[in-house]
Structure 1
C-alpha cells in the first residue's frame, strides 16, 4: 500500500510525518513525503530513509527574516501553496491509496485526493483552529474578528479562510473538472480530523463538534548519540538549563539569549543554548554557557535541570516525556495553549507575557526548578504515550479507516 504524507510548515510539522512514515514502513507500507525543500527537513527524512519530495518554497525563506510575515505576505503565500499542492501532490499521489495532509492549512490536498479517487485524511497537532464552543478562533492575517459571540466569530473565521484560499482553490478545482467549494476551512478539515497529540497534554473530549480521532503524538525515535563536546559540558557540572526557541526565527523574543542567560545564572545554574532558527549565541565566553545546534532531545532532556522554550507541540511533548520541568514563553498560534497546559499539569511554569525580562524569567525558573515540580514532571512522564505514530499508521492502512 502506498501512502502520501504532506505538510508545509516548520520542523514541528515535518518531524511527526517522519515518525509516521517510519511507522508505515515498519508495517509494510510504502510512504512518500511532500514537504518544504529546506535542507534541515531533507536531512530529517533521510534518517528514516524517505526522500523529500519538494513542495512550495522553503519555510526559512518565509519566516527567517528580521520581521514576522505580514498579511500581504500571507495573501501572496496562500495561492502559491495551493498551486504547489495541485501540481506536486497531483503527481506524487499517483498510484497511492491514501493521502494525509497537515501543517499550514493544506488547501488543495483533499482536492487532489478527490480527483484521484483515493482516501484523504486531515491531521493536526493541536486543537487551535478546530471550531469549538469552548474557545474563540485564533488570529489569521488580513482581518480582525468582531463581537464576542462564539458562533459568529467562527463564521467570520471561515470567511477569512475563504478570502485567503478560496479564489485559488476553486480556480484549480475548476481546471481539473471539480465543482467549487464554499467553505474552504471545513472542506480541508473534514468531519473527522485526526489529532496527533498526547491525550494527557492535550485532552480533547468535547472540545470540538467534529468527530475527532486522537491518535497520540507522532514521535520519531532517536538513537543518535550526543556530540562529544556536549557530553563533556554535561559531565563537567550540575545539569544545565536548556534554552531554545526552535524554528521561531523572527518570532523569538528580542535579546532572549542575554535575558535567559542572566536569568539562569541568577538561579545558580549553567546555560545550554540551542542555536535554532533564531540564531541564539552566547553573550560572553564564560565556561558556564554552551551552544548546540540540532540535537537529540530525547537523549538530552533527561539530563537538564529544566527546558525553557516557546511552547511548540514537539518541544512540549519531548520535555514532558523526559520528565524535565518546563518554562514556556509562548509567542504565537498554539503556544499559549501548551503553556497553560504545562502550568495546569504542574510540570512547569507558563511565563505571563511573551517578552520576558531577567526578573520575570528568573521567577518562572524558580517555580520550574522547585523539587515538587520535578517530582510532578517525572510522574506525568510515565503517562505520555509513545505509540501515536503506530496507532495512526494502522488506522491509515485499515480499508475503512
Structure 2
C-alpha cells in the first residue's frame, strides 16, 4: 500500500492496515516538526475515539483528553446546555488533532510501517492497473519508485491525488465559500466553562473551546478580508467578552500563544476512486469547523477504506472497494449538511454581504427551536457526536 500524505487520515489508515497484516509506506512532503505542529480540529466523535483505542493509540488520549457530555448554545443573555449523553447516549472528547497526529507518528516510527518525511516530486502512475506505482524523490535527493497493490491519496486539497481521479473520471466538484472567517487563538488560560459554548451574537459568532485544563481555544467570526496584525490580543479578548459574556460570567484571559485566521468553506469532490487510486480525508472533502466534522470524517473514510482494502487484498473480493465511494459520500453529504446548518444558524452576515434583519430573525427562531425542543436537541446531538459508520 502506498499512502500519500501523513495527516491523520494517512497515518490512521496505515495503522488500521498494519494490525490486519497489510504493509504500507507513508510518504509526506513536510518534515516531522511541521506535521506535528499543524493546529487543527479538537473534537473527537465517539467512533473516532474507539477507533484510536482499537489500534493501540488511545492511551494518551484517555489520560489527557477531556471527556465532554454536551455543549452550550447561547444568544445574548441566555445560555442553554444540551446533554448529549441523555439525548443520544453518546459523548465527545476534546483532544487536539495535533496530539492525535503525534500519537500516530510515534507509534508508526516505533512499530512501523515505514513513514518517510521530506519527500518531493510525488507522482502516482498506472493507477488503472493492478500494479500501480509511485515515483518520488527522498529526503536525500535520491529518485525512488514504490510498487504497490493500491495507492491512497490522503494528501489534502492541494495534493496530487485528487486531480488524477477527477481528470480520469470526469468527476464533479461542489463548493461553497462562506462570507466570513474564524479568528482563532490558543491562550494559557484555564477554561471558564465545563463544555464548549457556541454563541450567536449580532456582532458575529464566537466559540469557547479548550485543549486542556489550563489552555483555552477560542474563536470569533471576522470578515475574510481582516488581517491578523489588526487584531491585538486586547481587541480579541474584548470581542470574546462581548459575544460570550453573561451577567456574572466572563471569559478567563491569559497570554495568547497562537493566533490565526481560518477561511470557511464546504467542498466535496466525487468520485473518491479511480482504478486502484483511492481518496480519503481532505483530498475529497472539506467542511467548515462549526460542526466539528473534518477530522472525524477523515477517520470514517479510512475506517471504511481499510475494511474494503483488507477484503480486496486478503480475500480478493471487490464488493467493498467498488462501493467505497458511494458509501463514504453518503456520510460526507450528511456531515456537510450538518456543518452547513450549524454554520448558517450561528454566523451573522453583514448588510454589505447581503444579510439583513430578516436573516437574523430566522437564525434566532431556529436557535429558540433548539432551546425548547427535545427532538431538535436530539437531532443536533446525534449528528454532533457522530452517526454510526455504514459498511
The normalised TM-score by structure 2 is 0.30
The normalised TM-score by structure 1 is 0.29
Higher relative contact order (CA 8 A, sep 6+): 2
Normalized per residue, the structure richer in strand is: 2
